Amino acid sequence: MLTHATPEDGDIVIRQDKREGQVIYVLLTTPGADQYLLRTREEAVAQAERFARRQGVRAWFRDERAACVLLNDFRIVRSV
């Protein structure tokens, strides 16, 4: 199930953009500047999930309306 919410600091976000007439996908760590440019959505999702898994954060996709959709949550829940 897709969840609409807000990325937290350190989460990985994919943003679709258009440059020189080409659709590209931009990866960034929130809050922060663009870090990686990828040509396909599939590449962007795979890379974002790799980074998020390694860092124990969430991966998001930001659509054209600037709404964020949670792709995957790799945070580790620790019981007390």
* Residue 27 exposed, middle or buried by CB count within 10 Å (0-12, 13-18, 19+): buried
What letter does residue 68 receive in the DSSP assignment? E
**What's this model's pTM, rounded to 2 decimal places?**
0.82
Distance separating the N- and C-terminal Cα atoms of the chain? 28
Which whole number is the average pLDDT over 3-28?
88
CA 55 to centroid of chain Cα atoms: 13
pLDDT tens per residue across span 44-72? 999 999 999 999 999 999 877 778 889 99
Question: 3-class SS at 27?
Answer: strand
Q: Which helix (H) or strand (E) holds 41?
A: helix 41-55
- pLDDT for 80 equals 73
